[in-house]
Amino acid sequence: MKDKKTLAVVGCGFAGYTLIRRLASRVPELEVILVDPREAAVFLPLLPDVVAGNVSLDRLLFSLPEFCRRQRVTFINRSAERLDGERTLVLDNGKKVAFDYLVVACGMEPNFYGDERVRKVAFTLAGKDDARKLRARLQEVVGRGSGIPGWRDNTGRYPGLVGRDADGRFCPGVGISC
């Protein structure tokens, strides 16, 4: 009898999640290992609703250890650092994971095209921390309880959503009324 082949999946965003859901139960001769530094993943399409205050962030989180248990997948709560040869993944703690197949599904990284000014003032919405920061900023600028419909201030302007940087260029998230 041939040994089970091992699939290592690095990252559990939509791509990693979907792959594991489809393969783990349909290919029983495959051992699946998920490597992800997070304990919980976020259902990203509803992050704008967190920012608006319509949905609590904890409603969008799902436990990766629990997901892996249900899928009969081994969960390694670490970051992948590099490859050692063609079939070994090295983790951030120096431990090694051997695999036959590797899927890298690490997600996205915002691209500011080298403009550090934009990086400093822009808000991204790629994860739970981004949603918290943007929600807090909106509450700071707009005021608690005013919500999305009440974004205009008493002059009819939209405060804090678009402003000008030090060079006078329009920039989102600066927090200056236009």
Q: Which CATH superfamily is domain 5-104 in?
A: FAD/NAD(P)-binding domain (3.50.50.60)
Least confident range of 67-81, 104-118, 149-163:
149-163
pTM for the structure as a whole: 0.72
Mean pLDDT of the residues in the chain: 82
Q: What is the mean pLDDT of residues 69-88?
A: 96
Residue type, 159: P
In sequence order, the 6+-apart residues with CB closer than 8 A to the CB of 21 are 71
| pLDDT at residue 158, rounded to an integer | 46
The answer to whether 71 touches 80, Cβ cutoff 8 Å, is no
Can you say whether residue 109 is alpha, beta or left, with left for phi > 0 and alpha for psi between -120 and 50 degrees? beta
| pLDDT at residue 143, rounded to an integer | 59
Dump pLDDT digits (tens) for 127-170.
889 888 988 888 777 654 444 444 444 554 444 444 445 555 54
- Alpha carbon dihedral 44, 56, 69, 96, in 10-degree steps, equals 60
Neighbour count for residue 161 (Cβ, 10 Å):
18
Distances (CA, A) of 28 to 71, 73, 88, 101: 11, 11, 22, 15
Domain ranges in the chain?
Answer: 5-104, 116-172
Q: Residue 15 has which token pair?
A: 């791509």
